[in-house]
């Protein structure tokens, strides 16, 4: 295969990574993954030989193509590439990288922009869920500059609205895949939930924490990390995901009370380190657990209509607008929306190193 491929590097939400059209990458899945490992520089913890940044937040890849799904415009395959290990995980979705998909698709000619704003229906291949992504396109051109700020990103940019239409139970087949809203794992009460991302939620107080610890404080506690990982592995089996020791899902989340009745404090893990801010898909899962009764994260009683839940994270907050239908145990989340931003950093040719490819290629 060719060792030089087109690439667009983007900051999308609070993540960063290369965006590729599917046709730019090898058709063979094994060779595709080797290309992604080489692009990111995954073999090295610092990722000096690729465009990664030595963090799971900057070791992400978006692969985009015209959609094969009825009613959808583009397909989006997310890949989480390893940091210091040759791995590619396509189980989870990434909502932050998702915020760059519509601008990328429009600029690459997959979608015709409308004058003013353009809504692109994205099919996430990983979770088989649909998301409407709305971007500003005055004069039928994508604009990145604007006045919208998101916590965890310097400066401001144009708003990008993500409206998740059917992300509940998309990976495991059920919002509560164990059949219960609270399970008891490793001596702790937890909630296993599949809402945009499979999560296992733990109460901070049950771990001897107040919930406002910094990521550095949490990452510096090996006993805590080992306990959280033990819960995650057991939760993965309980959720029907099997052995998740080599997977990034389910993601562990430590939750505690927020600042007001419509907020919750969250410390989200990626999964073995605490996120510097918060994942979008994780925020939707936390907001869902907060809005529905009977979970370890439940807030005020669920009610019909639109509710805005503030997920408080180390860098600030993410506002998630949820649409609730029904009351009490019968309540369900119909849609969830939030605003992100994105920025194109560079576009050009990416040179892949020979050493990542199998000798048989």
Q: For residue range 181-230, what is the model confidence (pLDDT) as tens digits?
A: 999 999 999 999 999 999 999 999 999 999 999 999 999 999 999 999 99
Domain count, the chain: 2
224 in the same domain as 150: no
204 in the same domain as 60: no
Q: Is 293 helix (H, G, I), strand (E, B) or coil?
A: coil
Structure confidence at residue 302 (pLDDT)? 67
Residue 55 lies in a domain: yes
191 in the same domain as 145: no
| Percent of the chain topping pLDDT 70 | 99
Residue 172 lies in a domain: no
CATH of the domain at 216: 3.10.310.10
347 in the same domain as 292: no
Helix residue spans in the chain (DSSP H): 29-40, 95-98, 101-107, 215-219, 222-238, 280-291
Average pLDDT for 268-281:
94
110 in the same domain as 88: yes
Residue 166 lies in a domain: no
Average pLDDT, the chain: 95
**First vs last C-alpha separation in the chain:** 8
Residue 260 lies in a domain: yes
Q: Does pTM top 0.85 for this prediction?
A: yes
Query: 188 lies in which domain range?
Result: 183-339
> C-alpha distances in angstroms, 107 versus 8, 110, 288, 316, 347?
10, 8, 33, 31, 11
Question: Distance between CA 157 and CA 311 in Å, rounded?
Answer: 21
């Amino acid at each position: 295969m060719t060792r030089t491929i087109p690439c667009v590097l983007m900051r999308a939400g609070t993540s960063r990574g290369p965006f590729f059209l599917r046709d730019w990458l090898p058709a063979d899945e094994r060779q595709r993954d080797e290309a992604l490992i080489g692009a990111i520089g995954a073999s090295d913890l610092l990722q000096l030989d690729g465009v990664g940044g030595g963090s799971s937040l900057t070791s992400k890849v978006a692969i985009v193509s015209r959609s094969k799904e009825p009613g959808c415009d583009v397909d989006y395959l997310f890949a989480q590439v390893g940091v210091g290990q040759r791995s590619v995980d396509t189980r989870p979705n990434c909502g932050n990288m998702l915020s760059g998909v519509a601008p990328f698709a429009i600029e690459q000619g997959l979608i015709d922009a409308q004058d003013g704003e353009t809504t692109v229906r994205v099919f996430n291949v990983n979770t088989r869920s649909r998301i409407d992504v709305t971007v500003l396109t005055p004069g039928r051109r994508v604009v990145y500059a604007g006045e919208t700020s998101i916590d965890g990103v310097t400066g401001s940019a144009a708003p990008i609205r993500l409206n998740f239409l059917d992300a509940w139970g998309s990976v495991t087949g059920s919002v509560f895949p164990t059949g219960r809203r609270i399970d008891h794992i490793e001596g702790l009460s937890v909630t296993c939930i599949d809402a945009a991302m499979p999560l296992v939620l733990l109460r901070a107080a049950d771990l001897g924490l107040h919930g406002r610890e910094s990521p550095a404080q949490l990452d510096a506690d090996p006993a805590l990390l080992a306990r959280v990982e033990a819960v995650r592995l057991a939760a993965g089996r309980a959720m029907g995901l099997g052995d998740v020791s080599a997977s990034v899902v389910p993601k562990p989340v430590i939750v505690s009370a927020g600042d007001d009745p419509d907020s919750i404090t969250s410390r989200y893990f990626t999964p073995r380190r605490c996120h510097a801010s918060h994942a979008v898909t994780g925020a939707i899962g936390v907001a869902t657990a907060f809005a529905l009764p009977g979970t370890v994260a439940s807030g005020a009683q669920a009610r019909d209509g639109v509710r805005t839940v503030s997920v408080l994270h180390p860098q600030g907050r993410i506002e998630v607008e949820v649409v609730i239908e029904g009351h009490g145990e019968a309540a369900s989340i119909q849609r969830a929306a939030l605003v992100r931003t994105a920025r194109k950093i560079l576009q050009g040719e990416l040179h892949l190193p020979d050493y990542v490819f199998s000798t048989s290629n």
